[in-house]
């Protein structure tokens, strides 16, 4: 901390609240403010997404989603694009397991949440489909921007309202009268999805006893507390004893692997408290909580960069400085997520999701697992093993049918689900994300033609310059032996670099009031996700060292007791 920057400890957050930082605080704020003492609102919850390229709205009007292509023809319906280009086709085989995919979503919820405009009605009506006219909101700036389904649709053809609900994202209008979306979460990798990004949410998750988080104990095992406000939009209770989970982030019930990782880190936090308490009998509940939180965040950063990102970016990870070692904090970096990162690039993971999971020997289709807490409540071990053993799909232009035809389908109500690929494309148009070719050019890559990306795109788009970024980039071949193509690699690499080097609380930063000691850092560096799983999932006694790949001769099962652990008793004194 530099006294010359005294006046810079103050700022105004996106909601107009004055922020004053305490440079002596050892712990992160919940909303992400005061991480950067010179720019206290960098990365704060509620920040407007950064633009790497200016948005492209219809006729440049700053608000209407892109509707017309460069030839003057109407852009194809995102659902038609999804069915034609992003079907269940020939998925590339992959050596990664579903735990890799799962970490991707878990991390997504730490980083980003884009709120939709508040609106409780329906955007779909049958006359919209029959008349072929646009919903009036599309041109008047209102919340509705429904996705129209083709008459010949492979799945929804016989649904009377051939229309998927879609509401535009909540937005702010900037000084040039242009619609800008914002991130409800903090940008930082700070486990805000576990602890909450407001003080109120954080408080509601704490037990205020020995630093621990609240739990509900079922058959002798600790699970997440209950969210009594959850609705059937995001959680179905299907058997006696089911309840909807509550975590820092409200999306915790979306998918069993997600609820499983949340459960593991809840237990991990509480375990750390149990280990700190005997060596620090004098620590208050507050200190125990904050120290455990601090270590959990460090472990998540370590796993994210040295286990997860290396698989996603391959050799490009070192190009962006993402690997462990030689850390130096740079307070001039703004870590705020870019719009294109949240709205397109980091959604690459939707393609990794497999068609089914094998839970305790039973094959369950992906369309049948969303928003159902019963899987984790019945068997956390079974769900964890399903993700450790099941292969993920490749990150490519093919998607599991569960993702494109059955997402959040209501139990026993066929054809009530939606298509995440269509939604991602529509979301891109909603946010004015420029087409694929503009991004290629910006990053110095040759513009695509239908010959280079595949004639299949030409079946729906009249010009290759109209291809939406999400679908275009999904079709790229893997770059740098990672799992994404060159364009997403560039967008992801730069964003993860900024999230690391712009984070004063980064676990490797040794020069701050908040710093770990060098011994503690090297302990954290030895820890792997496999160890966290061993520590928190009852019944798992053997595991592959690399928890993001299936078991193989190079990644064989090891006894949990042989995996490195953080030596809290020795290093946290
Ligand atoms: C099967 C598991 C998953 C489900 C059910 C799911 C579901 C969803 C849904 C419903 C949305 C909102 C779409 C919209 O209306 O714009 C979304 C957004 C998103 N998803 Fe996923 N997703 C899954 C897995 C993943 C994975 C594996 C990743 C990344 C590796 C990911 C990254 C994202 C991101 C970055 C967003 C934007 C979040 C925001 O800013 O609001 N998701 N997902």
CB of 113 sitting under 6 A from ligand 1: yes
Ligand 1 centroid from CA 105, angstroms: 7
* Highest mean pLDDT of the ranges 94-103, 142-151, 230-239, 260-269: 260-269
Residue nearest to atom 29 of ligand 1 (CA): 349
d(CA 68, CA 258) in angstroms, rounded, equals: 38
pLDDT digits (tens, 9 = 90+) for 28-45: 999 999 999 999 999 999
CA nearest to 500, candidates 371, 350, 313, 358: 313
- Please list, in sequence order, all residues whose beta carbon lies within 8 angstroms of the beta carbon of residue 514, skipping any fewer than 6 positions away: 25, 26, 27, 28, 294, 504, 505
Confidence band, pLDDT 50/70/90 cuts, at residue 1: very low
Say if CB 396 and CB 351 are below 8 A apart. Answer: yes
Q: Output the pLDDT for position 440.
A: 98
- Give the DSSP letter of residue 160: S
Q: Output the pLDDT for position 572.
A: 85
Q: Output the pLDDT for position 278.
A: 96
CB of 484 sitting under 6 A from ligand 1: no
Mean pLDDT for the stretch of residues 108-124: 93
Residue nearest to atom 2 of ligand 1 (CA): 255
Residue 424 or 91, more confident: 424
- Provide the β-strand partners of residue 164: 147
Q: Output the pLDDT for position 3.
A: 42
Ligand 1 centroid from CA 400, angstroms: 14
Mean pLDDT for the stretch of residues 69-81: 97
CA nearest to 295, candidates 515, 477, 487, 459: 515
d(CA 406, CA 421) in angstroms, rounded, equals: 11
Say how many CA atoms lie within 13 Å of 502 toward its Cβ: 26
Burial state string for 485-507 with b = 16 or more CB within 10 A and e = fewer than 16: bbbbbbbbbbbbbbbbbbbbbbb
Say if CB 55 and CB 523 are below 8 A apart. Answer: no
- H/E segment holding residue 364: strand 362-365
CB of 347 sitting under 6 A from ligand 1: yes
SS (HEC) of 289-334: HHHHHHHHHHHHHHHHHHHHHHHHHCCHHHHCCCCCCCCCCCCCCC
Say if CB 533 and CB 546 are below 8 A apart. Answer: no
Distance of CA 362 to the CA centre of its chain: 27
Q: Output the pLDDT for position 8.
A: 54
pLDDT digits (tens, 9 = 90+) for 414-470: 999 999 999 999 999 999 999 999 999 999 999 999 999 999 999 999 999 999 999
pLDDT at residue 255 is higher than 60: yes
- Residue 61: Cβ within 10 Å count: 12
Say how many CA atoms lie within 13 Å of 253 toward its Cβ: 26
Would you say 171 is a known binding-site residue?
no
pLDDT digits (tens, 9 = 90+) for 347-363: 999 999 999 999 999 99
Ligand 1 centroid from CA 169, angstroms: 14
SS (HEC) of 86-110: CCCCCCCCCCEEHHHHHHHHHHHHH
Q: Helices (DSSP H) in 234-309: which residue ranges?
A: 256-279, 285-303
- Residue 328: Cβ within 10 Å count: 11
Ligand 1 centroid from CA 347, angstroms: 6
pLDDT digits (tens, 9 = 90+) for 59-70: 999 999 999 999
Structural tokens at position 415: 């054809």
Q: Which of 5, 39, 86, 109 is catalytic?
A: 109
Whether 171 sits among the annotated catalytic residues: the reply is no
Residue nearest to atom 25 of ligand 1 (CA): 105
Q: Percent of the chain having pLDDT more than 90?
A: 90
Confidence band, pLDDT 50/70/90 cuts, at residue 4: very low
Q: Output the pLDDT for position 120.
A: 85
pLDDT digits (tens, 9 = 90+) for 477-506: 999 999 999 999 999 999 999 999 999 999
CB of 417 sitting under 6 A from ligand 1: no
pLDDT at residue 401 is higher than 70: yes
Ligand 1 centroid from CA 342, angstroms: 9
Q: Output the pLDDT for position 13.
A: 77
d(CA 306, CA 321) in angstroms, rounded, equals: 11
CB of 422 sitting under 6 A from ligand 1: no
Mean pLDDT of all residues belonging to the chain: 95
Ligand 1: which of 255, 350, 394, 399 to mutate, most ligand atoms within 8 Å of CB?
350
d(CA 18, CA 455) in angstroms, rounded, equals: 54
Structural tokens at position 312: 């996603």
CA nearest to 243, candidates 258, 214, 260, 223: 223
CB of 523 sitting under 6 A from ligand 1: no
Confidence band, pLDDT 50/70/90 cuts, at residue 93: low
- Provide the β-strand partners of residue 50: 338
């Amino acid at each position: 901390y530099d006294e010359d920057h005294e006046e810079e400890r103050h700022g105004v957050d996106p909601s107009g609240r004055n922020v004053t930082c305490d440079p002596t605080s050892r712990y992160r704020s919940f909303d992400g403010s005061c991480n950067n003492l010179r720019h206290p609102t960098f990365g704060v919850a509620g920040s407007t997404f950064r633009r790497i390229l200016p948005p492209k709205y219809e006729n440049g009007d700053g608000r209407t989603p892109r509707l017309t292509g460069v030839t003057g023809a109407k852009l194809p319906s995102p659902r038609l694009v999804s069915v034609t280009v992003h079907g269940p086709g020939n998925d590339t085989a992959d050596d990664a397991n579903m735990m890799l995919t799962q970490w991707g979503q878990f991390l997504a919820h730490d980083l980003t949440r884009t709120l939709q405009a508040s609106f409780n009605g329906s955007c779909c009506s049958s006359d919209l489909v029959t008349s072929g006219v646009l919903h009036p909101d599309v041109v008047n700036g209102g919340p509705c921007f429904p996705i129209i389904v083709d008459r010949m649709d492979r799945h929804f053809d016989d649904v009377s309202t051939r229309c998927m609900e879609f509401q535009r994202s909540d937005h702010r209008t900037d000084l040039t009268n242009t619609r800008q979306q914002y991130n409800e979460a903090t940008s930082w990798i700070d486990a805000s999805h576990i602890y909450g990004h407001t003080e109120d949410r954080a408080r509601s998750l704490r037990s205020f006893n020995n630093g621990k988080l609240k739990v509900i104990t079922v058959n002798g095992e600790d699970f997440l507390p209950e969210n009594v406000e959850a609705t059937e939009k995001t959680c179905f209770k299907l058997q006696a004893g089911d309840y909807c989970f509550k975590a820092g982030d409200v999306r915790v019930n979306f998918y069993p692997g997600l609820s499983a990782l949340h459960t593991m880190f809840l237990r991990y936090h509480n375990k750390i408290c149990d280990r700190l308490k005997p060596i620090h009998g004098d620590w208050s509940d507050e200190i125990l909580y904050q120290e455990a939180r601090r270590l959990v965040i460090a472990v998540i950063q370590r796993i994210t960069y040295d286990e997860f990102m290396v698989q996603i970016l391959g050799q490009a990870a070192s190009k962006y400085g993402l690997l462990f070692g030689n850390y130096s904090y740079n307070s001039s970096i703004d870590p705020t997520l870019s719009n294109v990162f949240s709205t397109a690039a980091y959604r690459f993971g939707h393609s990794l999701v497999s068609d089914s999971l094998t839970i305790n020997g039973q094959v369950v289709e992906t369309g049948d697992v969303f928003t159902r807490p019963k899987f984790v409540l019945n068997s956390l071990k079974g769900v964890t093993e399903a993700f450790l053993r099941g292969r993920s799909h490749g990150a490519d232009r093919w998607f599991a049918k569960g993702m494109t035809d059955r997402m959040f389908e209501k139990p026993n109500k066929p054809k009530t689900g939606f298509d995440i690929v269509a939604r991602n494309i529509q979301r891109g148009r909603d946010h004015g994300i420029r087409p694929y070719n503009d991004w290629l050019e910006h990053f110095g890559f040759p513009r695509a033609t239908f010959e280079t990306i595949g004639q299949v795109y030409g079946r729906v788009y009249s010009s290759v310059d109209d291809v939406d970024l999400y679908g275009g980039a999904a079709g790229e071949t893997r770059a740098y032996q990672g799992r994404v193509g060159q364009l997403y690699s560039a967008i992801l690499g730069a964003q993860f670099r900024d999230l690391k080097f712009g984070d004063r609380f980064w676990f490797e930063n040794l020069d701050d009031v908040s710093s770990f000691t060098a011994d503690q850092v090297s302990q954290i560096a030895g820890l792997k996700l496999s160890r966290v799983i061993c520590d928190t999932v009852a019944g798992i006694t053997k595991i592959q060292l690399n928890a993001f790949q299936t078991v193989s001769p190079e990644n064989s099962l090891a006894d949990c007791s042989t995996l490195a652990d953080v030596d809290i008793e020795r290093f946290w004194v």
